[in-house]
Copies of this chain bind each other. A is one copy, B any other.
Amino acid sequence: MNHIIRVAIVDDHKILTEGLQGLITGSGLATVVSVTHSASDCRNSLGFCKPDVLLLDVSLPDMSGLDFCKEIKTQFPEIKILALTTHNEYSIVKQMLDNGASGYLIKNAMTEEILAGIQAVAAGKTFLSHEIDILMKRPKETHIWLSQREQELLKLVAEGLTNGEIAERIFLSPETIKSYRKNLLLKLDAKNTAVLVRIALEKKLI
């Protein structure tokens, strides 16, 4: 590979994008072909600016970066996506990689890491920030991972529905909901609903 890497950036933090742009251009390794601050603007620009790598923030103002990642990957599978966020939660990283991202950088990363990430991803490799790498390599037991149903239920609980209401909503017996809740309390090591909701939000499980 001997051409200059074409990089696009989507992030609503304008100062950050300026910093990134300077950093990338200054390095001589890559050129910034597009800087946008929302998913819709980015979507419009991708067609003709043809980047090799897209630096994507997970929290965009108009839609979830997770969903946007999936969308881009189906429309432009050749574009490598490098997620760039503040979250260092297992579940977010996992979902991002599942949705087709090639790498994941945390925003407090060293600047060298960003350049290394762009190069690695452009070369078809995967790349994780040091901190994220450690996070993902931790034994599976320390991570909380919920089944689809459990996640669905957790959302409804956090919305304040009672067992009866949840049962009606998803056409199950209230007793089943009770079992799921008991299991969620166990899994998330929560002594009651208050803690359950807190953990769910803190670990960004819902």
8 closest residue pairs by CB, A with B = A19-B19, A160-B195, A13-B107, A197-B197, A12-B108, A160-B191, A18-B19, A15-B19
Kindly state the interface size class of chain A when it binds its partner. Answer: 35 or more
Q: A165 CB to closest chain B CB, in angstroms? A: 10
Is A190 an interface residue, CB under 8 A from the partner?
yes
Q: Which residue of B lies closest to A107 (CB)?
A: B13
Is A45 an interface residue, CB under 8 A from the partner?
no
Q: A12-B108, A14-B109, A14-B110 are in contact. Are A190 and B20 (CB under 8 A)?
A: no
Binding site for B on A (CB under 8 A): 12-20, 22-23, 37, 61, 86, 107-111, 114, 157-160, 162, 190-198, 201-202
Q: A158-B198, A160-B192, A195-B160 are in contact. Are A23 and B13 (CB under 8 A)?
A: no
In whole angstroms, what is the CA distance A158 to B196 when docked?
A: 9
Q: A37-B108, A190-B160 are in contact. Are A16 and B14 (CB under 8 A)?
A: no
